[in-house]
């Protein structure tokens, strides 16, 4: 799977430790997200998020990606391939810098990502958002995702994750 196939407009590449400051800035532009989905963002949590994978997955399955317009980080995505099964891609995080929000950019990126995943053989995409976050719920519903009925209480972070899915 080639991440550059995820966008015809933006340069897409894996984010690395040297990108921590621009990732932090993008995340800080979205305070509503962290109101519903703690903990607050920090440099150590970013570096942790860059490498953490679910059980039975490796770093090769993880795509911690940035969507760049020149030098500007427009959006970021944390995607796990073949999780929780071989036909599914899991979006652990998708966030657009607030200065680009409300312009259809996030929706255009997601549309291209979903097409690239389908072209790579995936049959569905799943994700979760923090229950009560109207912005996240609206975005994913608008992009064709549906609630699966599965909810998981995140004990360490004191929120409930609502699982959504979309067939490709």
Contact criterion met (CB below 8 Å) for 161 and 128: yes
Number of domains into which the chain is organized: 1
Paired tokens of 132? 């009560």
Contact criterion met (CB below 8 Å) for 22 and 73: yes
Residues in contact with 108: Cβ distance below 8 Å, sequence separation at least 6, in sequence order: 9
CATH number at residue 28: 3.40.630.30
Domain residues for the domain of 31 are 3-167
Tens of pLDDT, residue by residue over 56-112, are 999 999 999 999 999 999 999 999 999 999 999 999 999 999 999 889 999 999 999
d(CA 87, CA 84): 8
Q: Decide if pLDDT at 38 tops 70.
A: no
**Residues across the chain:** 168
Q: Taking the complete model, does pTM exceed 0.85, yes or no?
A: yes
d(CA 161, CA 37): 9
Segments in 4-131 forming alpha helices (H): 20-28, 31-36, 43-51, 105-119
């Amino acid at each position: 799977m080639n991440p550059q196939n995820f966008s015809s407009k933006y340069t897409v590449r894996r984010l690395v430790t040297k990108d921590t400051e621009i990732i932090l800035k993008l995340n800080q532009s979205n305070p509503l997200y962290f109101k519903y989905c703690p903990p607050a963002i920090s440099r150590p949590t970013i570096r942790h998020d860059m490498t953490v994978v679910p059980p039975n997955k490796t770093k090769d399955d993880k795509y911690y990606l940035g969507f760049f317009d020149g030098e500007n980080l427009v959006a970021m995505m944390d995607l796990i391939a073949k999780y929780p099964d071989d036909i599914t891609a899991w979006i652990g995080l998708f966030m657009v810098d607030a200065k680009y929000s409300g312009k259809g950019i996030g929706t255009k990126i997601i549309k291209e990502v979903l097409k690239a995943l389908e072209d790579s053989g995936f049959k569905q995409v799943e994700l979760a958002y923090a229950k009560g976050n109207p912005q996240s719920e609206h975005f994913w519903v608008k992009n064709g995702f549906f609630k699966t009925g599965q909810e998981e209480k995140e004990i360490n972070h004191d929120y409930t994750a609502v699982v959504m899915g979309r067939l490709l």
